[in-house]
Amino acid sequence: MKRIILASASPRRRELLEQIGIKFEIRVSDREEMFHSTIPEEIVRELALQKAENVAEMLKKEETGGQDCVIIGADTIVVRDGKILGKPGDDEEAFQMLRSLQGRDHQVFTGVALLDFGEDGRGNVTLHAEETKVFVDNMSDDEIRQYVKTGECRDKAGAYGIQGRFAAYISRIEGDYYNVVGLPVSYLYRQLRNILIAFSESLY
């Protein structure tokens, strides 16, 4: 069987892959992330591919190499009015981010890069970007500050986690819920299934 490698340190992405029964390894990209596009879909595809390619380079330097493996790179951004909201640097920045989201909608984009390597070390690249629209209820300043105090917002783009306590303030979404958590798992499962089926058939 092919090795499946997740090029991410995100505990949420790890949990999602485990949830759908995928057996995988984790290798974390250590390269500084950079992007050139200003279009959200292109940005997340760029960043996801960078992570996957960096892990591929790491594997090629090892004895086992990068043969017969699929590397998954992923990156998620939160966008409001065309502005990217990253991870807050402190509680006050988190408060301001959350205040800007209340009573309206914003978009969450996740890019997925799949690098499928054969025995010859050559890889096929599949890139995808998923968009989900998230609608947040009106929140009082006190509700925002109480949420910030939970600490959930500190390592999350947009300063919230939809799967945590912030769920109380999500009125609805349009699109894939798991995309907001960090991975469009239905899309990813279908792609991995097709890759593994094709690999199995090539053995006979």
Q: What is the pLDDT of residue 16?
A: 96
d(CA 129, CA 42): 8
Are 162 and 168 contacting, i.e. CB atoms less than 8 angstroms apart?
A: no
d(CA 141, CA 95): 8
What's the one-letter identity of residue 62? E
Q: What is the pLDDT of residue 203?
A: 62
75 is an active site residue = yes
d(CA 145, CA 55): 38
Pick the catalytic residue from 30, 68, 75, 81.
75
What is the DSSP track for 174-192? ES-HHHHHT--HHHHHHHH
d(CA 125, CA 122): 10
For residue 3, the surrounding DSSP H or E stretch is strand 3-6
- Considering only CA atoms, which of 184, 161, 162, 188 is closest in space to residue 173? 162
Per the structure block, which two tokens stand in for 58?
């790491």
Between helix 11-19 and helix 185-202 the angle, nearest 10°, is 60
Are 76 and 133 contacting, i.e. CB atoms less than 8 angstroms apart?
A: no
The segments of the chain whose pLDDT lies below 50 read none
Q: What is the pLDDT of residue 204?
A: 57
Beta-bridge partner residues of 72: 6, 114
Per the structure block, which two tokens stand in for 154?
């500190």
